[in-house]
Every structure is written in structure tokens, then in C-alpha cells.
Amino acid sequence: MDKLIIEGGVRLKGEVTISGAKNAVLPILAATLLTDDACIIKGVPDLRDTNTMLKILKSLGKNVEFDNGVAIISQAKNTSHIADYKLVSTMRASFCVLGPLLGKLKKAKVSLPGGCIIGVRPVDLHIKGLRALNAEINIESGYVVATASKLKGAEVYLGGVYGSSVLATDNVMMAACLAQGKTIIESAACEPEVFDLAEFLIKMGAKIKGHGTPTIEIEGVKQLHGAQHKIIPDRIEAGTFILASLLTGGDITIKNIFPRHLGAMIDKLQEAGVDIKSTDNTMRVALKGKLKPVNISTLPYPGFPTDMQAQIMSLMAITPGISVITEKIYPDRFMHVAELNRMGAHIQREGPYAIVSGVKELSGAPVMASDLRASASLVLAGLVAGGKTSISRIYHLERGYEFMEDKLRVLGAKIWREKE
């Protein structure tokens, strides 16, 4: 098992190209289960999670070719309706095979999912939505077992305690594509990754309107066909590199970025005094002057993303003044607080709130990653900390950032791997 070593204090500068979005590519790969035809997906990042999804597709009867960011998914044998525990339990997003399996085969047996430990993330909205489409669903020995003699369109409300569910919206939308009649999803997730999935489904022959809004309409069709699609840029990776530039007082030009997908974050950074110059797909981030503290609340899109909460905390940890970060999506998503404090940060957690008192500098220390985005926050802190930072359990980082240390090295960072 590897650990990351970072020698901090280097000003980052240069260009970095953002990879395809992890949270878009996983459901899009799952959507290939809706057809027997070949599908070509471009811009696929080489991640631990992506490779897990490709293994799941193989186990379900698909032939998979993956090289240089291009995945070709075709039919190898009859599709199995059983998604095994050993694979699904390692990654929560793999649960999105439930909708397409049910839509295509009218039956599915999918293990309850795993993934990062960032708090309870139930699957009740998935089950509620698919039951509304006439599916019979039971939980048996750790598996969700779903059957339907015929899926029927329906009005489905997917609002949850902490807002809309991205994966539940994905699952219901995919199943509804092959249901009889019209499905209307109310309180649908509006994230760009949901929009990208809908665009792929439309290329496959689905009839979908309203994606990107809280109301999505799907008119069921008899079958879907193969299609080609390019994955949108990863807005969370892009946001992480924006913060890397700011933390190190750097000057980074970010390529393959959709600034419109980061509106809430850009707004907060501008409030903090950051000057950002962008075009349709590039952004230059350079710190001029002193940062100001800001208060942040995570919300469903287009609000501030929960997946950027840990990383923005690293920036606020060295910003003079007091910032309050409120986690409204996953109230327990604060595993990184203790590790940042080990590096000299002054952060106090009070329930769903983190009160951050900015310090003059952080110090390198041995720290441990607890989840994907916490890993990124520790890397960011290590880049600006004095001395060396050692980050254990970096397999979390590999789940969502393609070649992160390589990209940082190109920008000048002193970062390398060592065996634990």
C-alpha cells in the first residue's frame, strides 16, 4: 500500500487539463446495460471507481475495451440480472445498475452499496421511485431484489431529507426510458452529471425533456440503441485545482473546464477576494492580495457542492478570520477536521457546523485519508504546509482523481509515493 509524501511551500504554476467527470461516467457506463448494441464512451478517466464499474459490466455479460480514455461496451453474452456483493459493496455509485437492469430485463438483484464513510446514505428514494414504476422490490440478505412484469410510467417525487438524490434520479430515469407511458420525476436532481446522463440516453433513442431542472419528463420507448458520447469535465477535480492555485499563491491555467458548472464556488471565491478569468472551457486562477473568510453552506446543485466542502476548508484554514462551513447534505462529513487540526489548523466542529479560525501557517504531519474528498483536502493542505506531509490510505484519492500527483508535479509540486 502506498502513501503520498508532499514537501510543501512550492508555488504552483502552469497548465493542467481536467479529466472526465467521475460522477457522470459511472451512471453513463451503467446505462449501456439498456441496450445490446455497442456504445463508445470517450473522456473516461482511469480511476479505481471507473475500473470497478467496468468489472461490474463484465460480470453482467458485457464485453469491455478500455484504452486511452475510450471505453467500448458491447454485448458478450446474455445479460445477468445479478450484481455481486464483492464489487458493488466497494463503490456506492455501482448501485445505479439497478435501474437499467430492471428496465432492460424486468428483474434485478443488486447488492446494497458501499463507498466512502461520510455518513448514512440510504437507498430509500431509489426503491420508492422504482416501486412507483410498478416494480416489486424486497431486500433479501443484503441485496435489493426487484421484479416487474411490466414497467409503467408514473409521477414520482424524489425529494429527500437533505434534498434531491442524484443516483436515485439516475436510476429512475434509466428505468423509465423503457417503461410504458410517461414518467414525470419531481424534485429531480439538477446536477450537470444527471444532465450528461440524460444527453447520453437521448442519443440512445430515449425521449427525455426537462433534464437540468427539478422536473424531468420521460416518454418510454420500446428499445434503445448504441451511441457515442463524450463525458463532461469533472467540476470537482477542477475546483480542487482552483484551490491548489489559491493555497500556494500560484498561477494556474485550467483547461477542459466548464466554469458554469462551478457557479456557486466561483461566487464564494469572488466574495473572498479572488480574481478569476475564464472562457467557455478555460480558467486562469491567480491570487492577488489577501483572502477574506467566507461562510459556506453545502446544498444540492446549483448550490455549493458537498464534494468541495473538505477542500474549501483547507483554504479557509489559512485565511485570516473566522469562517463557518455548514454541511447540509451529509452532516457527518467532517472526518478531515481532526487531520487538518493535526497539521496546525484551528477547526471546531459543532454538529453540522465547522468553525474555522484561520492560522498563519500549517505544518507537515503524518495524516490519514478517510474518504475521497477528505484525501484531496489533505493533499491541498500538504501543498502549503511547512515541511513534509505524509498521507496514508491514498487509495481513496485514486477513486476520484486521475493521476493527481502527476498533474501536481507538472505544476511544480514536490510530491511522490512511498510504500507504507
Name residue 383's amino acid.
L
Is residue 269 located within the same domain as residue 240?
yes
pLDDT given at position 121: 54
DSSP sequence for 168-196: HHHHHHHHHTTSBSEEEEET----HHHHH
Q: Cβ distance 209 to 217 under 8 Å?
A: yes
Same domain, 207 and 354: no
E-state strands within 270-316: 275-278, 282-286, 296-297
Whether 327 and 309 share a structural domain = yes
Question: Which CATH number goes with the domain that contains 165?
Answer: 3.65.10.10
Give pLDDT, residue 45.
Answer: 98
Cα–Cα nearest to 199, from 188, 189, 210: 210
Give the residue from 175, 201, 230 where a domain finishes: 230
| Residues forming a β-bridge with 66 | 71
Please say whether the beta carbons of 173 and 164 come within 8 A: no
d(CA 42, CA 229): 6
- 204 in the same domain as 92: yes
**Annotated catalytic, 96?**
no
Rounded Cα–Cα distance for residues 271 and 24 (Å): 29
Q: Are residues 209 and 282 in the same domain?
A: no
Q: Are residues 315 and 184 in the same domain?
A: no
Residues 261 and 392 placed together within one structural domain of the fold: yes
**CA Rg, the chain, in Å?**
21
The domain boundary residue, chosen from 230, 255, 279: 230
278, 237: one domain = yes
Walk along the chain (420 residues) and give the pLDDT tens digit of each residue. 899 999 999 999 999 999 999 999 999 999 999 999 999 999 999 999 999 999 999 999 999 999 999 999 999 989 999 998 888 888 888 999 999 999 999 999 998 875 444 444 578 999 999 999 999 999 998 899 999 999 999 999 999 887 889 999 999 999 999 999 999 999 999 999 999 999 999 999 999 999 999 999 999 999 999 999 999 999 999 999 999 999 999 999 999 999 999 999 999 999 999 989 999 899 998 787 889 999 999 999 999 999 999 999 999 999 999 999 999 998 889 999 999 999 999 999 999 999 999 999 999 999 999 999 999 999 999 999 999 999 999 999 999 999 999 999 999 999 999 998
Does residue 288 share a domain with residue 193?
no
Please tell me whether residues 248 and 184 are part of one structural domain.
no
Instruction: Give the DSSP per-residue string, 68-80.
Output: TTEEEEEE-SPPP
Domain boundary among 206, 230, 254: 230
Q: Are residues 274 and 206 in the same domain?
A: no
Residues 367 and 349 in one domain: yes
Considering the candidates 39, 116, 177, 190, report the single residue annotated as catalytic.
116
Q: How many domains does the chain have?
A: 2
List, in sequence order, every residue forming a beta bridge with 417; answer none if it has no partner. Answer: 4
| Residue 249 C-alpha from the chain's centroid | 27
Closest to 353 measured CA to CA, from 374, 375, 331: 331
> What domain range includes position 330?
2-19+233-419
